[in-house]
Amino acid sequence: MSEDARNIGPRWMGVRPEVIVTSFTEYPQEYRLVKASKNTKSDGSVSLTYTEPVEGNGDYDEGSMHAKALPYGDPVDCNEELLEPIPKSKAVKTLGASQQVKFNHKATAERICMTVLKSIYDFDSQKHGRGRIYVIKFSENYLTFKTFCAMIAERIDFFRNQAVTGLGIILLVPSNYDKLPDSLRESLFSVKWSRPHKTYWRETIRSYVQTKPLLMDKDKNGNPIVGISDNDLERCVSAVTGMTKARGESALLMCVSKLGKIDVPTILAEKSAQVNDYGLELHNPDPDDVVGGMQVFQEYLQEEIACSTPEALGFGLQGSRMAILAGPPGTGKSLGIKVLGSLTGRPVIRLDATDLRKKYVGEGEARLALAIDLGASMDGIIWIDEVEKLVQNVSAERDGGSTASVLSILLTEIQENKSNIMFAFTANRVEMLPPEFIDRAGARFLFNYPNQDEQLEILKIHIAKMRRFDPNNPDANERGMVRRNPDDYPFLDNLLKYTDGSNGRQIANAVQAAFKIAWTRHQDEPEEQDFIKGINRNSMNSTPEKELELIRDNCLARGFVPANTETEEEAEAVDFGQVGLSGRV
C-alpha cells in the first residue's frame, strides 16, 4: 500500500478516529472494519468469516481486501446498571465484547438519547488519544426532540469556536428528508447519499458467483462452469441498479437460495416491489411490448436506440430529454413509452398526474423528487400520464400553489437535467399545456387512429401475444408458452372491413374476445366469425367524432408530428360497401 493511501483522512493526532454507531434503539457501540478470511468447504464452495479487525491505524486496501463494518467490543459510555455479561450460550456474539445492554433498556429511547448526548459532551480527543465519529441512525426520531437538537447545536458551536477537538457527528435520515429543525440548519451541512452505482453491483455479483459458487458460464464444450459471461453480468447489473443496498443484496440472496443462480426476472420483480413500496409504479423492459404501425414514431425509436450506446455518448450524442405523446384515448401512447423503455433498456417509472396534485401541500413535490431520485439511480424514464391534469388548475390556485410548485420543479429539472433521466408525457388535450412546457420537448408526436395497414399489423401483434402451452417447442419460454403464428389465420385481411374506425385498444380487446368466444364454443382456435363477433363487441367508440377531430387539430396546431403516415385523403378513400363505421353490416 502506498504512503498516500495509508495516510488518507480523516485523522486526529495521526490516528484514524474510532466510529461510534447509535440509533433510536441502540446504545453507543464501536464499529470496526473486520477483514474476511476465506474457507474452502469440502464441496468446493467458499465461505467468508470475519474475525480480524482492522486497527485504528491499520492498513486496508478496499480493492484487494474484503471487509465489513461490524460492532466491536463492549457498549461505549454506558452506565454499569445498563449492562450484563454476555451468556456463553448466545449464538451470535459481538467481537471483542464481554458485556451487552440488558434487553429491557433498549426500549427506553429517551435514556438512549441522554446516554449519547453525555458521551458526546464528555468526549475529549486529547485524553482519548484519538478522534471519534458518532453515526446516529434513524436520526429523524431524535430530531423531533427539542432537547437533543438544542444540545447538539450547542456542542457543535462549542467545539467550532472554543475547544477544537477530534469529534464528528453524522445524522442519518431518510432520502428527501426536509424537516431539519431551525436550531440545526446553520450547524450542519447535508450530503446526499446515492444508491449503489453499477461498479458496486458489478463487483458484488462477481463476488457472489465466485464464493457461492454459481455455475453461470459455460466452457468450450457447453458444460456449465463457475463464472458469469460479460453479457450476463451486465444484464444482472442493469437489473439490480437503482435498488438500495439492502434490498438489492436481499434480491441476490433470494436468487441464489431459490434458483442457484442470479436471475434477472427475479431481480426485476423485487425492484418493482421496492418502487411500489414508495407509491410509484415501475415498468421494466418487456420484449412483448411492440407498437403496430406508427412508422414515423418507429424511426424516432431507432434514433433513440442508436443514441443510447456508449459509442454514441462518446461521439457527443445523447437521447431525448423530453418527449410528449399526444392524441385520442386508445391510440397507443402509453404503449409507445413502454416500447421506448424496452428498446433502450431503460426502466420506466410511471406517475399519474393526479398523484402529483395531492391534498396536502408538499406531498406532490415529495413524490416527484423521489421519482427523480429513483430515475437518476437507474438511468430510467419518468413517465407522467395525462399531464394536462397536472396543469389545468395552476392558474386557479385551488391547492395552495402546490401544483404550480410541482410544475416549476418539473420544468427546472427538464431544463437543467444533468443526469441521464428522460421525461416522457402522455396527453389527450394538449391545448391545456402551457407553451413553455411544450417547447421543452425535443420529440412531439400525435398518435392518431391507425390506418388499414396498421390495423392489420396490430391484429397480428395481439394474436402473437396470445401464447399457447407447448413445452416441446424450441421457441417456448421458461413456462412452456409459445407465441401463435398470425399466418395460421389466413382471413385477417377480411377483418379490415369490420375494424374501420377502431383504435389499437379496441383491436386488442377484440382479439382477446375472439379467443374467449372460440374457447367457449369449441375449445379450439378462433375462426373468422369469432373475430367478427369480437370486433363488433368492441367497435363502439366512447369519444365523439367531433372531439377526436378537435384533439387532432389542436395537436397539429402546436407542432406535433403525426406518428403514422396516414393522410386525410387516404382516410376518405376507404370504401367498405355495406359495412358502416361501427363495423356492422
Positions of E strands within 92-225? 99-101, 132-136, 167-171, 215-218, 224-225
What's the angle, vertex CA 18, arms to CA 12 and CA 23, rounded to 5?
A: 130
Model confidence at 238, pLDDT cuts 50, 70, 90, reads confident
Q: Distance of CA 229 to CAs 202, 235, 491, 537, 565, Å?
A: 12, 10, 45, 50, 43
Fold (CATH) for 452-537? Helicase, Ruva Protein; domain 3 (1.10.8)
Return the amino acid letter for 3: E
DSSP string covering 285-322, please?
--TT----S-HHHHHHHHHHHHHTSHHHHHTT----SE
- Residue 196 carries which side chain, given as an amino acid letter? P
Domain locations in the chain as residue ranges: 3-185, 198-277, 295-446, 452-537
The number of residues making up the chain comes to 585
pLDDT digits (tens, 9 = 90+) for 211-224: 888 888 888 888 88
Same CATH fold, 452-537 and 295-446? Answer: no
536: its cell numbers? 363488433
How far apart CA 479 and CA 238 sit, in angstroms, is: 24
Q: Which fold has domain 295-446?
A: Rossmann fold (3.40.50)
Query: Rounded to the nearest 5°, which phi and psi values hold at 384?
Result: -110, 115
User: What does the pLDDT read at residue 64?
Assistant: 59
First to last CA, the chain: 85
Supply 101's cell numbers: 445492554
Specify whether the CB–CB gap between 107 and 84 falls below 8 A: no
Tens digits of residue pLDDT in 263-284: 998 999 999 998 998 888 999 8
Calculated CA dihedral for residues 434, 435, 440, 444, nearest 10 degrees? 90
Highest mean pLDDT among 32-36, 117-121, 186-190, 229-233: 117-121
| Cβ contacts of 156 within 8 Å, gap of 6 or more | 169, 187, 188
Give me the mean pLDDT over the 523-534 stretch. Answer: 94
pLDDT band of 389, cuts 50, 70, 90: confident
Q: How confident is the model at residue 4 (pLDDT cuts 50, 70, 90)?
A: very low
pLDDT level of residue 524 (50, 70, 90 thresholds)? very high
- Answer whether residue 572 shows pLDDT above 50: no
Average pLDDT over residues 157-174: 82
Residue 31, pLDDT > 90, answer yes
Backbone φ and ψ for 321, nearest 5 degrees, come out as -85, -25
* CB half-sphere exposure, 53, CA atoms < 13 A: 16
Q: How confident is the model at residue 583 (pLDDT cuts 50, 70, 90)?
A: very low
Alpha helix (H) ranges present in 189-291?
A: 198-211, 230-240, 245-259, 264-277
